[in-house]
Amino acid sequence: MKARATRILVVDDEEVVRAVMRDTLDRPGWYVVVAEDGEQAISLLLDEHFDILIADKNLPGITGLDVIRRAKALNDNIGTLLVTAYASRESAEEALSLGVDDYLTKPFDVDLLLNKVEEVIDRHSSFDRLMVKRQATRDPRRKRKVIVLEPSDAARQSLLDGIERLGCHVFSVKNLGEVLHAVRQKDLDALVCDINVLVRDDATACFLRSALFVTPDIKFIAVAPKQGMDGAIQAVNMGAGKVIYKSLLSNEYINESLKDFLSA
């Protein structure tokens, strides 16, 4: 059976930008439609299905954020990129509330545009496949859902084994984008994340840090590299309710540290 093409909607009021994006994204398996303003984009969204929306933030009249808001109302699973002249914490938090996946700043490199679109497509498709698989194998009794993001193989396996022993449904993800998608879908109870991954200075990390602050019902456990006050202070400043140390990981340590926290 032939795979369905990934449908991409680009909305930008600059003709040259629309042309560059259309030419860059014109590749096998992708179908690109362009709109010159927010009104035209919303009309297209009402009439057709799109997998990805790329919207300029500062459109005249109906803004890019307005278009994204309408697109999310029509299809909460649509991937979104916000094009802006510059990225800031304030605009990141505003975009986060709408479920934007990432930023693209003008002037942009076409290779970066391709990479970001590929990441959004992979993020949504891989996480959706993972969630379908998890739903099919889940214990019918309610278990707390815990995501682990840890780059070290040994530490990750210790965390998975130890948390599973606490009676939680636990699974590993590869990147912050998958965690952010789970937060937006309200499909996890707790996050265990290496603190060095979360402090990265990029849009996805910024989105996720903000999301954890505005979603207090998700328990956040930071994994610091070694025992010490610096790691604990950094974790608390990022909104962590608990900090554990990679240098101490064992089933006994995980049980002692997280049993009461995860069951509360």
The DSSP 8-state label assigned to residue 194 in this structure reads E
Phi, psi angle pair for 174, to nearest 5°: -100, -25
In the chain, the amino acid numbered 197 is: V
The DSSP 8-state label assigned to residue 3 in this structure reads P
Residues 173 and 103 in one domain: no
Final residue in a domain of this structure, among 98, 125, 152? 125
Q: Is the pLDDT of residue 183 over 70?
A: yes
Tens digit of pLDDT for each residue in 23-59?
Answer: 999 999 999 999 999 999 999 998 889 999 999 988 9
Final residue in a domain of this structure, among 125, 153, 173? 125
Beta bridge partner(s), residue 34: 10
Count the alpha carbons within 13 Å of 146 in the hemisphere toward its beta carbon: 28
**Any residues with CB less than 8 A from the CB of 251 and at least 6 apart, and which?**
158, 161, 162, 165
**Residue 3: predicted pLDDT:** 56
Residue 155 in domain: yes
Task: Name the domain count of the chain.
Answer: 2
**Residue 228: predicted pLDDT:** 67
Cβ atoms of 146 and 190 closer than 8 Å: yes
Length of the chain: 264
Residues 148 and 234 in one domain: yes
Residues 14 and 41 in one domain: yes
**Residue 174: predicted pLDDT:** 87
Distance separating alpha carbons of residues 136 and 242, to the nearest angstrom:
31
Residues 118 and 155 in one domain: no
Sign of the dihedral defined by the CA atoms of residues 86, 92, 96, 102, in that order: positive
Residues 17 and 95 in one domain: yes
Q: Whole-prediction pTM value?
A: 0.55
Distance separating alpha carbons of residues 169 and 163, to the nearest angstrom:
8
Could you tell me the two tokens for 26?
A: 């014109």
Phi, psi angle pair for 127, to nearest 5°: -70, -40
Residues 199 and 232 in one domain: yes
Tens digit of pLDDT for each residue in 70-128?
Answer: 888 888 788 899 888 765 555 666 666 667 888 788 888 899 999 889 888 887 665 44
Residue 238 in domain: yes
**Residue 87: predicted pLDDT:** 58
Final residue in a domain of this structure, among 68, 90, 125? 125
The CATH number of the domain where 250 resides is what?
3.40.50.2300
Residues 146 and 255 in one domain: yes
Cβ atoms of 67 and 76 closer than 8 Å: no
Residues 14 and 119 in one domain: yes
Torsion of CA 31, 46, 82, 91, to 10 degrees: -170
Residue 110 in domain: yes
Residue 130 in domain: no
Residues 173-178: what's their mean pLDDT?
A: 87
Residue span of the structural domain in which 241 resides: 141-263
Tens digit of pLDDT for each residue in 188-209?
Answer: 889 999 998 888 877 788 778 8
Mean confidence (pLDDT) of the chain = 82
Residues 35 and 111 in one domain: yes
Cβ atoms of 38 and 66 closer than 8 Å: yes
